Amino acid sequence: MVMLIAGNWKMNGLAADAAEQVRALADGIGRAGGAELLICPPATLIPIMARALEEAGIRDRVALGGQDCHIAEKGAHTGDISAWMLKDIGCSHVIVGHSERRIDHGEDDDLIRAKAEAALEAGLVAIVCIGETEAQRQAEETELVLSHQLRGSMPSGATRENAVIAYEPVWAIGTGHTPTAEDVAHVHRHIRTVAEDFFPDDLRILYGGSVKPDNAGALLAVDGVDGALVGGASLKAEDFLAIAAAAKV
């Protein structure tokens, strides 16, 4: 199975940064091995990166995705971007349901599912994020929370080709803390068991949350982990490629 290594740049990067990172990716692309690479930069940088990747001759090696999308194809939604717009500017994927959207913008499972379904309708692969908070973890509610988010957030009609699950424990995002390999294996088994109840395909499950070059090998070697959703470490091509190099193919 080819692993997916996805980078979420969040609200970081200007045009010069995008050009610099594409040059660095092109110089070191051989280090990525056979891993599938995806970068989700801010929407302002997607056309710039698409053009730079094409000029660098690595557009076929690095896919582009959005960080969020609206449920509608178009309309009076100031400041939003639709899945169809992302598709139009060269995206193949979109992240929905990231904890920062759930928490900062109050997005619930119903809205996230609607966004994921819009992504599928537009021909994008929906990367649906789920994860428990520190309080929920301490209350031993991890499995309950993840089951609820899965059932509520995943789009109908999800298949291995059009949907990916990303498990990101909220308490590990950007904190430098990561669960143990045993914890990750246990949670991914639970997610897969729940997903198998209502989806015929064996969906890919990524791990996210403080993935770095020094822990990527251990995390990506865990049974049931099909890749990584990388945050801060994806902002530097060297670190992103090092994580990709750690992926088993």
* CA angle (174 as vertex; 186, 176 as ends), nearest 5: 70
Give 56-70 as a DSSP string. HT-TTTEEEEES--B
The catalytic position among 36, 70, 93, 98 is 98
**Tokens for 55?**
């000029």
Q: Is 231 among the annotated ligand-binding positions?
A: yes
Q: Is 162 among the annotated ligand-binding positions?
A: no
Q: Is 210 among the annotated ligand-binding positions?
A: yes
Q: Is 236 among the annotated ligand-binding positions?
A: no
Q: Is residue 93 flagged as an active site residue?
A: no
Distance set, CA 141 to CA 136, 148, 205 (Å): 5, 11, 20
Evaluate the CA torsion angle 169, 41, 240, 7 in order and state its sign: positive
Kindly report the backbone phi and psi dihedral angles of residue 158, in degrees, each rounded to the nearest multiple of 5, phi listed first.
-65, 135
In contact, 132 and 102? CB cutoff 8 Å: no
Q: Is residue 105 flagged as an active site residue?
A: no
> What is the rounded CA–CA span in Å between residue 222 and residue 216?
10
Residue with tokens 């945050």: 231
The catalytic position among 36, 117, 132, 168 is 168
Q: Is 10 among the annotated ligand-binding positions?
A: yes
* 3-state DSSP assignment of residue 114: helix
* 3-state DSSP assignment of residue 169: coil
Q: Is 8 among the annotated ligand-binding positions?
A: yes
Q: What are the binding residues?
A: 8-10, 174, 210, 231-232
Q: What are the binding residues for substrate?
A: 8-10, 174, 210, 231-232
List active site positions.
98, 168
